[in-house]
Amino acid sequence: MNTATQTFELKSDRQGSGSGNAFLAGKQAWDWLFAALIVAGAAWAFFRYEGAMDVYEKGILLGAVPSLIWLGWFWRPLGKLMAVVAALSLLAIWLYQTPAGAADLTRADQVFMLKYFISSQSAILWMSMLFFMSTVFYWIGMFSRDGNTFEMLGSRVAWVAVTLALVGTMVRWFESHQIGPDIGHIPVSNLYEVFVLFCWMTATFYLYYEDQYKTRSMGAFVMLVVSAAVGFLLWYTVVREAHQIQPLVPALKSWWMKLHVPANFIGYGTFALSAMLAFAYLIKQSATESRWYKLAPLWILGVVLCFEPVVFRQGAAAAKGSSYWFIYFGISALIAGGILSVRQRIAARLPSFEVLDDVMYKAIAVGFAFFTIATVLGAFWAAEAWGGYWSWDPKETWALIVWLNYAAWLHMRLMKGLRGTVAAWWALVGLAVTTFAFLGVNMFLSGLHSYGEL
């Protein structure tokens, strides 16, 4: 077994074997300060916005306190991330205030920090650029003699991108409430908002595994899918002006959305992460293969990735922004061909098969757990909105297909010892199924979820 894997497992065993008292006794001053700040922040939010919250939202706020404290204690970088995001978000809210004490959204074009950095749109645009930069740094690290330095830069830039994505999300939430009393909502209600959610969640999960396994070379592959999501986000913004805050449709005016959507996207993000590591696994495996027909499956994968522009040129893109997808096609073709042509160098830089396989498994396990929770929550939401827990709507049907796919993958892993090539290809197929469930259903099928169409 790989040393990094052994170290991670031993660390996990030590963490799990201690008693609750030992766990608390091991906390440092920063940990208790962080917990106090979370409690104080929740108390301030409650007393300031109590009138705008129903009993369910108050329950969510109450449950968020121990959850956030545990997350910050479980992985300290998350605690620091929360502190920075909170500070920048509160700064943005303060900058929106006029001398009279009221919020004025026109200040987003007048105040330097808001205009260029921490209004919601500015922060999300910075997020987009920084994720692209992070991807470039990780790939330079693959081939540079000083690869560790560039990979470290890629990791640091990814952290900044995640920070700004969260700041943009929090500030957008505040901005929506300033537009009108019936406009304000948590920004997870449309494709623009959930793609931001997907980007920072996927990147954060990757950064966790990067830290735990002490290897950064996986980032070159994982950041590709994050950059692809950013590319879609920018295209969608141009085509639909999706960055504009819109009122919720009636079906989305539910507190269930605050739980269902984030849980769903933990699943989507970790499934995408596992698929990119599966792709890395197959590239590493093919490093010593010279016969072209043995590489045919990977060439087919490249063609499938490049075929995406043909799909998105239908509908909205046919009228506006279609040239964007020709550029995307060219870049995808170069990336797919480039990776295959220098696969020996990439393979030497990647961690061992055992590490790639282990992270792929852990990502799918986490994603499956949260996707299961999201599916159950979605059933309760459907009962409230439409009067039935399950209606075999296309979105629901494809969500079930996604769930069954990963349930079968985990069953074969745990019961039959599924490993290696088959597991990797299955994870890649799983991403295709998940992508269709997320986007394809919205594009090609109609149903109760048609409010989310492209």
pLDDT tens digits, residue range 323-341? Answer: 666 666 667 777 777 777 7
pTM of the model: 0.89
Regarding predicted confidence, which is higher, 257 or 440?
257
Distance of CA 240 to the CA centre of its chain: 22
| Helix orientation angle between 420-435 and 353-386, rounded to the nearest 10 degrees | 30
Q: Across residues 25-51, what is the average pLDDT?
A: 89
Is the pLDDT score of 298 beyond 70?
no
Q: How is 331-378 classified by DSSP, letter by letter?
A: HHHHHHHHHHHTHHHHHHHS--HHHHHHHHHHHHHHHHHHHHHHHHHH
Q: Which residues lie closer than 8 Å to 341 by C-beta, 6 or more apart?
A: none
Question: What whole-number percentage of the chain has pLDDT above 90?
Answer: 56
The burial of 209, by beta-carbon neighbours within 10 Å (0-12 exposed, 13-18 middle, 19 or more buried), is given as: buried
Query: What mean pLDDT value characterizes the chain?
Result: 85
Residue type present at position 234:
L
Q: pLDDT value at position 67?
A: 95
CB 278, CB 210: distance < 8 Å: no
Report how far residue 48's alpha carbon sits from residue 39's, in angstroms, rounded to the nearest whole number. 14
Q: Are the beta carbons of 152 and 103 closer than 8 angstroms?
A: no
Nearest-angstrom CA–CA distance, 162 and 442? 27
pLDDT at 14: 47
Q: Using the predicted structure, report yes or no on whether residue 201 has a pLDDT greater than 50.
A: yes
Is residue 70 pLDDT above 50, yes or no? Answer: yes
Give me the residue label for tokens 């595994």. Answer: 209
Q: Per residue in 344-392, pLDDT tens? A: 889 999 999 999 999 999 999 999 999 999 999 999 988 887 788 888 8
Name which residue leads in pLDDT, 413 or 391. Answer: 413
Which two structure tokens, joined as six digits, stand for 16?
A: 């799990």
Mean pLDDT is lowest, of 13-27, 127-141, 153-167, 209-223, for 13-27
Cα dihedral: 241, 244, 250, 253 (round 10): 130
Environment class of 80 (CB within 10 Å of its CB; exposed 0-12, middle 13-18, buried 19+)? middle
Mean per-residue pLDDT, 221-243: 89
CB 397 within 8 A of CB 448: no
Predicted local distance difference test score (pLDDT) of residue 302: 60
Q: Is the pLDDT of residue 242 over 60?
A: yes
Q: What is the mean pLDDT of residues 20-26?
A: 66
Q: What percent of the chain is helix, strand and coil (3-state, nearest 5)?
A: 80, 0, 20
Tokens of 147: 């690869």
Q: Supply the pLDDT for residue 167.
A: 98
Q: What is the pLDDT of residue 318?
A: 46
Q: Which residue has the higher pLDDT, 118 or 255?
A: 118
pLDDT band at 16 (very low <50, low <70, confident <90, very high): very low
Q: State residue 358's pLDDT score.
A: 97
